[in-house]
Amino acid sequence: MTGPLVVVGDALLDIDVEGTSERLCPEAPVPVVDVGREWQRPGGAGLAALLAARSAAEVVLVTAIGADPSGARLAALLEGEVELCTLPLDGETPRKTRIRAGQQSVVRLDHGGGRASRRTLDERTISLLRSASTVLVADYGRGVADHPQIRKLLAEAATRVPVVWDPHPRGGAPVPGARLVTPNDAEAVKFAGAAGDPAELAVSLRDKWNASAVAVTLGSRGAVLAAGGEVRTVPIPGPAKVAASLRPDTCGAGDRFASAAAAALFDGADLTGAVTTAVESAARFVAAGAATAVSQPADEAEPEPVTDPLAFAERVRRRGGRLVATGGCFDLLHPGHVALLRHARSLGDALIVCVNSDASVRRLKGPTRPVVPAADRVRVLAALESVDAVAVFDESSPAALLDRIAPDVWVKGGDYAGTELPEAEVVRAHGGEIVLVPTVEGYSTTRLLEGVSHG
């Protein structure tokens, strides 16, 4: 059975804030942009995989995504387009925001310095890289392609199947034996360490990297391919070249070139045919609006609210995130609750709140409680910035729920110090730890209700 086209690399969340600019700021000679609409799309290896999926039947993306809002948005944008195989990310998911006016970029804002964790790979990732029919490495210098195990597996893959490597100045060198390496002309100069004719650079880098071929991309001039003992220029076909010249935005053109080349090799093309296909595909991609053509309006790309806390917990674990859970009745939400939830969220990458059902509260607190029904308590908790998901349990203890959630950290208030929590054994059985957080003096639902009854 033929394996998939596997894309390996660093995925980003790309945002375009589009607006108009007709005046300068009075405090400084900078344009004032009146924001119109915000667009979002996968970036980096995410964009490369998305584009590869439009040319190849089966595409899997091996990347690192954080358990944070940007990571959730990125995963949602890729869902249904490519199969995801996620690695742990140390830090926040990278997010790049372009502020644009009149189809021109004014400034770019970068957030999130997350890098792929060096933790041992799971069996699924290893199996995917060993079964791939073609591999595209979209290296954006954030650690995925530099992972020691991944590099070893890529080197092994290069002896069996086509490996296309789109390099980055902050990333590692391509593994020996790569079928095709695709730097642009500016990158080629940096990698070679000196300026030169594109053909000379392609030959020099092919030899330096021990690659089968190097294609130096030249924008509107096509590409120069050094393969074997031959060097040839691959121009953009006439109609595509004319169309490409009409649109100035080239964002993602390199990803389109590399993904089209990989897809062509996946389908059995030779190197010259793959690069010819890639040149034309990249030109038409730019002509169609480049990366903006695959963007979604932000208001249509909002991630769905969490409706399945157990599935959410599994997604956090798959991404290597640190899952925190806490629990209680949360009948009348007060500052003590808010402080506990904020502290709990700071201990990891995602927080699930386990809430006693109405029947459970009655058994614990008496027939007059809860004051606020479970459905409303869930809505209030879910609206808090520190809370990622809410799960309701019917038992007096959340032990059975925690057995399924398996949090890395279980948080309770400091008033439980000196007592053995009934759920402690379950948490520890899954390798989790228990953290007691100091309570805020003077606050409890019972005290609040007593104050009302005596008022």
| Cα end-to-end distance, the chain, whole Å | 76
Amino acid making up residue 236: I
Contact between 324 and 411 under an 8 Å Cβ cutoff? The reply is: yes
Amino acid making up residue 320: G
Contact between 189 and 223 under an 8 Å Cβ cutoff? The reply is: no
List, as one string, the DSSP characters of 214-281.
EEEE-GGG-EEEEETTEEEEEPPPHHHHHHHTT----TTHHHHHHHHHHHHHHTT--HHHHHHHHHHH
Q: Is 124 left (phi over 0), alpha (psi -120 to 50) or beta?
A: alpha
∠ CA(414), CA(344), CA(394), 5° rounding? 80
Catalytic residue among 14, 255, 349, 408, which? 255
Is 185 a known active-site residue?
no
Q: Give the residue from 101, 108, 103, 110 showing the smallest Cα distance to 24.
A: 101
Contact between 55 and 263 under an 8 Å Cβ cutoff? The reply is: yes
Q: DSSP letter for 29, please.
A: S
**CA torsion angle 178 184 186 190 (round to 10):** -10
> Rounded distance, CA 314 to CA 213, Å?
41
Residue written as tokens 């390798």? 431
Copy the structure tokens of residue 380.
Answer: 């209030």
Amino acid making up residue 409: V
Residue written as tokens 């959410």? 312
Is the bond preceding 88 in cis, omega lying within 30 degrees of 0?
no
Amino acid making up residue 380: V
List, as one string, the DSSP characters of 114-125.
-EE--PPPPHHH
> Rounded distance, CA 319 to CA 64, Å?
7
> Rounded distance, CA 70 to CA 43, Å?
12
User: 10 Å Cβ neighbour count for 182?
Assistant: 31
Active site residues: 255
